[in-house]
A and B are shown apart, each in its own frame.
Chain A
């Protein structure tokens, strides 16, 4: 048997391949991104980046109706964006199997909130599988297609950061036969207008009952009997933590199907063990189900709702013992920063200099909120910058002349365009700055509709961002190069002064793109340097300032020259050799 080390996301991609999936449409988002990137490496699978999660799911629904096994992947907050089609696809059901992966991020390694996607399964009446390691990821993905087709329902695959991004061993098998199922018009099933939806609504409840029954015997739920003093009900990576912490001192009910829950199985497990603990990160999802069934369990009164668990934490709570951990040295934190050479830095430097109110958005540029740039005043979710600015400007017109929205290229296309349309339609004098670095950078450089390439690196028409803004009705649209900070400042001043909506597109490719040439590093002339701290305001990791003066770390410097631009004493220059 062919064994391989794969990250969970790679194993899901392999599961898509082996499971005969023919269509993948996703929007990137940590920790889900690599599923789609790795699925795209199989020639047999059509795979694309959609502009957002809603479009991705809708496209996958279409592919499923067409008769193919289809998939959409996203991070937890992506499911908020896609929720609308998902909730009704629960009614219309599928033709080819439809699987939706949603990756939660306990601990918020790369996210703006810590929502627990299992709640979506209940709300949308869609079954949810939850793997614990890469082998599970591969097997569960294939199983999800089977369940989807057998019960005529989309199926969620719930991952978390540690499952998605941990490598473990998987066994590879060949691809299943992946033809298209027959397609026949069926408006009663696929046109979800009230008359049809009412009929499907009844079918949904029937299906729920069938799935509840299936859950009782489904092989994805598994009991491991060991010592019966302690019984653990768990799922996902928490199962691995519990196993590490307690070994055979506890028996385990590992739930692979987390919605619907197997009531009888839980009861019979609980009867056999002396004390039952539920070990689950985030919400008390399994626990409250158990309580509703009258099963006496211990859970969140002992464990946190917040963040990730560890084996030591579980050991301490359940066994009352934990190894003594030496204290961590008291050292400075190292938060993420804008890279050396990042074009966003110049923009945030100017925002700070002009003391603007900045309605922010999500992407690498959110790092403009951290010290020393600290030039962002709100960040809610993708696309929100424009709506938030519009709302503020409408109620506080006196602030409009000092306020901007700032949004990345991918984020603008994801969900900024409708916000801009609202600004134009309802005429707030808002100034929107689009940071076009020619890539979706934060999530690791994905192509998008403005980059000229598809996920499979086929040439594609590039969206004309300025053209779209004009078409939406913005009359004042201009573009600037962020590294020309004088021009940037002038443009912002003029557009803020204008009493109508305006857009500034700041265009400069991400410094990490391979085709961007690195220029020679810069050097500080210690004779001229007065150690005034001006260059320190840029928050460039390559600029090192000590009591004795400033120096530039040549291994880090990307040669962008921004520091030379802001130095008032001409002390920084490029080393030409």
Chain B
């Protein structure tokens, strides 16, 4: 069983990322379940999407402590769900910080040095400025796909399969910039590894 969690802030594009990942996993012949989030929390709330692949997947959600790869579009969200990762699992995190409302109102503090905390945990941490990479690909919105590119560098899947999945899940006019974003993320991860 391979368990992935995609976390972030509602509206950051976790739906697209989960669909691409789902498509990649099924083309490998696995049973796949993907649990999406629609509705209220998409309005800027904390959003968790699960992707599971294996011989026979029962629950659509990844049990805590069994996550192999945590992909986070935002620093605090990676830290929030870090406890779901198994020991030795990987976290791929965008360094973007989005203040949650309790921080904006002063009721809470945004934790400091999150990336350092992730790096000192018992997991592999890959942190990148996904927004800047996406901007250089043509749109800041594609930071989700930058992170998929990084994830692809850690998964044993032919890159063509990823391209196919992106083409099939992104509106035609945005395919090129998304493919560029994917490549930038992939290259960044390969460099760091």
List the interface of chain A (C-beta within 8 A of B).
Answer: 3, 5, 7, 30-31, 33-34, 109-110, 133, 162, 165-169, 237, 240-241, 243-244, 310-312, 323-329, 331-339, 364, 367, 370-372, 442-444, 536, 539-541, 543-545, 553, 555-556
Do A331 and B111 form a contact, CB below 8 Å, given A240-B58, A311-B59? yes
Given A168-B34, A240-B58, 9 more A-B residue pairs with CB atoms under 8 Å apart are: A30-B39, A165-B38, A168-B31, A244-B63, A329-B83, A332-B111, A334-B44, A539-B104, A555-B96
Which residues of chain A have C-beta atoms less than 8 A from B11's C-beta? 339
Once the chains bind, are A5 and B65 in contact (CB under 8 Å)?
no
Partner of B40, one of A109, A324, A553: A109
A364 to chain B, nearest CB (A): 6
- Cα of A270 to Cα of B133 in the assembled complex, Å: 59
Do A166 and B45 form a contact, CB below 8 Å, given A544-B99, A544-B104, A555-B131? no
Among B19, B33, B76, max chain A CB count under 10 A is at B33
Once the chains bind, are B43 and A337 in contact (CB under 8 Å)?
yes
Q: Is the interface of A mostly helix, strand, loop or mixed?
A: loop
- Cα of A540 to Cα of B98 in the assembled complex, Å: 12
Once the chains bind, are B101 and A335 in contact (CB under 8 Å)?
yes
Among B46, B61, B77, max chain A CB count under 10 A is at B61
Once the chains bind, are A541 and B46 in contact (CB under 8 Å)?
no
Once the chains bind, are A332 and B38 in contact (CB under 8 Å)?
no
B35 to chain A, nearest CB (A): 4
A sample of 25 cross-chain residue pairs with beta-carbon separation below 8 angstroms, ordered by A number, consists of A3-B26, A34-B38, A110-B38, A165-B36, A167-B19, A167-B32, A167-B34, A168-B34, A244-B59, A310-B59, A312-B64, A328-B80, A329-B79, A329-B111, A334-B77, A335-B101, A337-B101, A370-B101, A371-B102, A372-B101, A442-B43, A444-B42, A544-B99, A545-B104, A553-B99
Q: Which of B2-54 contact A (CB under 8 A)?
A: 9-11, 18-19, 22-23, 26, 31-46
Once the chains bind, are B80 and A162 in contact (CB under 8 Å)?
no
- Cα of A324 to Cα of B65 in the assembled complex, Å: 8
- Cα of A244 to Cα of B34 in the assembled complex, Å: 15
B162 to chain A, nearest CB (A): 16
Which residues of chain A have C-beta atoms less than 8 A from B60's C-beta? 133, 162, 166-168, 237, 240
Which residues of chain B have C-beta atoms less than 8 A from A372's C-beta? 101, 104-105
- Cα of A545 to Cα of B31 in the assembled complex, Å: 46
Query: Count of chain B residues with Cβ under 8 Å from any Cβ of A?
Result: 56
Partner of A243, one of B35, B58, B76: B58
Once the chains bind, are B38 and A33 in contact (CB under 8 Å)?
yes
Once the chains bind, are A5 and B104 in contact (CB under 8 Å)?
no
B99-113 vs A, CB cutoff 8 Å, 1 = contact: the mask equals: 111111111111100
Which residues of chain A have C-beta atoms less than 8 A from B59's C-beta? 237, 240-241, 243-244, 310-311
Leading 5 A-B pairs by shortest Cβ distance: A110-B39, A30-B39, A332-B108, A166-B60, A336-B45
B99 to chain A, nearest CB (A): 5
Once the chains bind, are B35 and A331 in contact (CB under 8 Å)?
no
- Cα of A444 to Cα of B37 in the assembled complex, Å: 12
Which residues of chain A have C-beta atoms less than 8 A from B181's C-beta? none
Among B34, B46, B104, max chain A CB count under 10 A is at B104
Do A30 and B40 form a contact, CB below 8 Å, given A332-B76, A332-B108, A335-B45? yes
List the interface of chain B (C-beta within 8 A of A).
Answer: 9-11, 18-19, 22-23, 26, 31-46, 57-61, 63-65, 76-77, 79-80, 82-83, 96, 98-111, 117, 131, 140
Do A334 and B61 form a contact, CB below 8 Å, given A109-B39, A169-B32? no
Partner of B45, one of A33, A243, A334: A334
B153 to chain A, nearest CB (A): 24
Once the chains bind, are B44 and A339 in contact (CB under 8 Å)?
yes
Partner of A367, one of B35, B43, B61, B80: B43
Among A34, A109, A536, A541, max chain B CB count under 10 A is at A541
B173 to chain A, nearest CB (A): 13
Once the chains bind, are A5 and B41 in contact (CB under 8 Å)?
no
- Cα of A333 to Cα of B111 in the assembled complex, Å: 12
Do A310 and B44 form a contact, CB below 8 Å, given A166-B33, A167-B22, A371-B101? no
- Cα of A244 to Cα of B45 in the assembled complex, Å: 28
Which residues of chain A have C-beta atoms less than 8 A from B140's C-beta? 555
Which residues of chain A have C-beta atoms less than 8 A from B36's C-beta? 7, 165-167
